[in-house]
Amino acid sequence: MKDQKYKILVLSDLKDTLDSVLKNTISLSQIINADIEFFHVKKPTDIVEMESQLSAMRTINKEHVLMDNKLRDLLEPISKDYNVKINHSFSFGNIKNEISDCIKECKPDIIILGKKKSKPLSFIGDNVTNFVFKNHEGAVLIAAGDRLKPNTELSLGLLNNPEQNINLEFAENLLANTNRPLKSFKFIDKSNNYDLDSNKKTVEYVFDKGDNAVKNLSKYLAKSNVNLLFLNREAKTSNKKSASLSSEQKNVINMVDVSLLFSNRKQPIHISK
């Protein structure tokens, strides 16, 4: 439903990829018609050391004011630049517990995480990415690079997935706002025969599975100007509590410098053409 309002939750550690994350977020919010919630968590041990309880409470109260001001200073300029409202909140506590509570309260349709340049598959904290993938059934976007930004055309690529099986609540909005033809990328076993898709709405790129498959994918994503690549997650089943990322998907995250949009973990949503 194109008129439906969606909700985006940004989880950030306020590190060096914040500008890219925010531009990815605003771009997606414009495309799918979504409100933005920005959330930051800080461990209490990062604020107070060995102090009395009273002194620790005073330090935390002071930090609340400082953090609120810091978030306003970070978010308001870009919010004004693109005329987009960004609600923000933060908490002090166990990172996973606080994120879990935030997800339950916010009920986002999509969670956005930033990808650090310095460390492969390391985002806003150790194991936080896997935690989000296992505990959030909606879509997840890994923001990377500067190709996806506000007021620019969406160029959507699909990895190992047909257009009619894009498993997203907001798939119609996404497809209605992307350049055509779509770009479809597939990894295949070279021992199997494969017939190229004759669908004129899609340009297809096929790569033999192997050590260089993801590296070749990265090159062709740049050549074809794709700024958002869609991947399907494994659907949740009754005997499998939480499907996480495959090794192939982890390699794509580590080696591809383009934002990645992962599907819902619910049963597939079939889109009519």
**Looking at the domain covering 6-262, what would its CATH class be?**
alpha beta
How far apart, in whole angstroms, are the C-alpha atoms of residue 221 and residue 227?
Answer: 8
Q: 3-state DSSP helix/strand/coil percent for the chain, to nearest 5? A: 35, 25, 40
**pTM for this prediction:** 0.86
Q: Which residues pair with 38 in a beta bridge?
A: 10, 88
Question: In a 10 Å sphere around its CB, with 0-12 CB exposed, 13-18 middle and 19+ buried, how is residue 14 labelled?
Answer: middle
Lowest mean pLDDT of 56-65, 177-186, 198-207, 237-246, name the range: 237-246
Q: Is the pLDDT of residue 269 over 60?
A: no
How far apart, in whole angstroms, are the C-alpha atoms of residue 92 and residue 76?
Answer: 22
Copy the structure tokens of residue 237.
Answer: 């089943």
Please tell me the predicted confidence (pLDDT) of residue 112. Answer: 97
Please tell me the predicted confidence (pLDDT) of residue 48. Answer: 56
Q: What is the pLDDT of residues 176-223, one digit of tens each?
A: 999 988 999 999 887 565 555 555 678 899 998 887 899 999 999 999
Copy the structure tokens of residue 77.
Answer: 């300029």
Where exactly are the structural domains of the chain?
6-262
Q: What is the pLDDT of residues 149-187, one digit of tens each?
A: 999 999 999 998 877 678 898 999 999 999 988 999 999
